[in-house]
Chains A and B, each alone.
Chain A
């Protein structure tokens, strides 16, 4: 009895996935040939970016630093122009044509939040940005860093930027079905989001977005052929940049 029930549910799940595939295939691409749609609950934003807002109202210039790991460098796409920080700069540049916007890429692979924090004086503060986007947590999860240490590093970084009147946004990890089976992301995701929560800092839900794209088969991260890898990465980074720009716009409205 129990077995049949489980089988039926599994089968229904399979039909749901197939149905979603069909829908995804017939919906026309929404942006630059790339389908970046996500459910509205993933784009809800309650935290504000007051300093960025002020700078935009004053007519700029706006400098944003993106500090993070390998997915910030964008090496997988083949060129820094295809990484999400540059994509973000392009979109913001289109939306605010009269304001000079630069997004500086400070991605360095394989660093924990603590190691990135140690780069803050040279890579972040020295750039004098008005907004910092901190993409972090992946290496912490991979290495099994203690939750308390990750939380402490994030807290120090947020405090440092807040005392300097710099706005901050966090970006959580990337999703793929293969990596989540061997890496315990959940505790680290929760930590990132909880630190954001207690500090009123927005955490960009990249993990959930990429999971949605994977489930809807907008992007297939797991079965991609060698030739398609760079273009897949470029498309994903383009979507991330676009969604980040939308989040930033929502946070200053």
Chain B
């Protein structure tokens, strides 16, 4: 392993993104007023995909350099397989929930609503389509994107290693084609499309990977540069406008700036209105937060960093916990106190899980220091 220390900023920001994803996935949650999407046009999904691209390039790029392309490919595909299994697990939980509700809740007032369970009429299709990643129920839509991106990542990685500019230009071109022609990937049932359009979102992943691989050294990412000033302008404008929308949503007399002109901002195709402030924020974060920033060593940052390091498990658990939290809020009480308690309990569970997994992996890595008793030295194995 190279001696370069781990960049804790990546883990920290990915940890924050995972916690935000958990919070945002609980509908009508008061805590979601304090996540990224309340103050910026982009949300935690962009952060998650970008950092995932960045770290994928770090990890598999190192393998590519040391052990070669075949092993790097195998590693990336193994990770994609893990994600795939996790996705199918979450899907089974979802099926259990929907089929339970569809069979117990038979109120004809909700005939239109119960169409959500239509796929139960043809389980053979639904399950095959889920295995093909074509059936993506609510909130189960970001993992299919991530799986697909990792599956094609070896090609992207080798390309970025030898022709970084060409790969980035091709990736950007595909993104632009999506913006112009609106092409999308069809999904199941008929008429649906992939919620996260992979043709658009691949650009974010590729951009993250290019920076992570370091073939494009970002020398211009220094505080005080023209780029930083521009980034400050774009991110600042995004902040002011989006915050005005959020306040307008809570308190109607407050004006929502450019609401008529800009809303709705397309998430499926990763609208440039989302992408520009995101890149601006990345520039600002890279320029202003140094890898040795003091807060990264603070005790409060530790659990967040651990969440970012165990991203797959924390992400999946977060999806389950949001569903559980939503269930608790609708079934019992949704007062603000309970909402805050549900958020706190969920974040606590995510952090404890990350800590536990970290402990387990650390134990597995540490070689036993106690010598194994040799033959003739007391206890015989027989």
Q: What is A's interface to B at a CB cutoff of 8 Å?
A: 2-3, 5-6, 9-10, 12-14, 16-17, 46, 69-71, 75-76, 109-110, 138-139, 142-144, 146-148, 151, 173-174, 176-186, 190-191, 194, 197-198, 221-222, 224, 226, 229-230, 232-233, 236
Our count of residue pairs bridging A and B at CB distance below 8 angstroms stands at 147
Main SS at interface, chain A: helix
Partner of B268, one of A16, A110, A146, A197: A146
Residues in B with CB closer than 8 Å to A71 are 109, 112
CA distance A181 to B99 in the complex (A): 12
CA distance A70 to B116 in the complex (A): 14
Binds A, one of B45-53, B226-234, B334-342: B334-342
Closest-by-CB residue of A relative to B138 is A184
Contact A9 B330 (CB under 8 A): no
Contact A14 B332 (CB under 8 A): yes
Indicate whether B113 reaches chain A with its CB closer than 8 angstroms. yes
- From known contacts A70-B111, A142-B113, A183-B138, infer whether A6 and B326 are also in contact, taking CB-CB under 8 Å: no
Closest-by-CB residue of B relative to A2 is B348
Contact B101 A194 (CB under 8 A): no
Residues in A with CB closer than 8 Å to B327 are 181
Residues in B with CB closer than 8 Å to A229 are 107-109
Contact B259 A198 (CB under 8 A): yes
Q: What is B's interface to A at a CB cutoff of 8 Å?
A: 27-28, 97-98, 101, 104-117, 138-139, 189, 191-193, 195, 248-249, 252, 256, 259-260, 263-264, 266-268, 323, 326-328, 330-333, 335, 337-338, 341-342, 344-345, 348
CA distance A46 to B252 in the complex (A): 11
Contact B27 A174 (CB under 8 A): no
Closest-by-CB residue of A relative to B118 is A142
- From known contacts A76-B108, A232-B109, infer whether A13 and B333 are also in contact, taking CB-CB under 8 Å: yes
Expressed in whole angstroms, the minimum distance between the Cβ of A172 and any Cβ of chain B is 13
Contact A110 B112 (CB under 8 A): yes
Residues in B with CB closer than 8 Å to A14 are 332-333
Contact A16 B333 (CB under 8 A): yes
- From known contacts A182-B97, A198-B263, infer whether A5 and B341 are also in contact, taking CB-CB under 8 Å: yes
Partner of B109, one of A181, A185, A186, A233: A233
- From known contacts A2-B348, A185-B27, infer whether A179 and B333 are also in contact, taking CB-CB under 8 Å: no
Expressed in whole angstroms, the minimum distance between the Cβ of A57 and any Cβ of chain B is 28
27 contacts between A and B (CB under 8 A): A2-B345, A6-B342, A9-B338, A9-B341, A14-B332, A16-B333, A69-B112, A76-B107, A109-B112, A110-B115, A139-B112, A142-B115, A142-B116, A146-B266, A176-B110, A178-B105, A179-B101, A179-B116, A180-B27, A181-B323, A182-B98, A183-B116, A194-B249, A194-B259, A197-B252, A224-B107, A232-B107
Expressed in whole angstroms, the minimum distance between the Cβ of A113 and any Cβ of chain B is 12
CA distance A185 to B27 in the complex (A): 8
Contact A6 B344 (CB under 8 A): yes
CA distance A210 to B331 in the complex (A): 14
CA distance A2 to B108 in the complex (A): 41
Contact A148 B332 (CB under 8 A): no
Contact B345 A17 (CB under 8 A): no
Residues in B with CB closer than 8 Å to A6 are 341-342, 344-345
Partner of A17, one of B108, B333, B341: B333
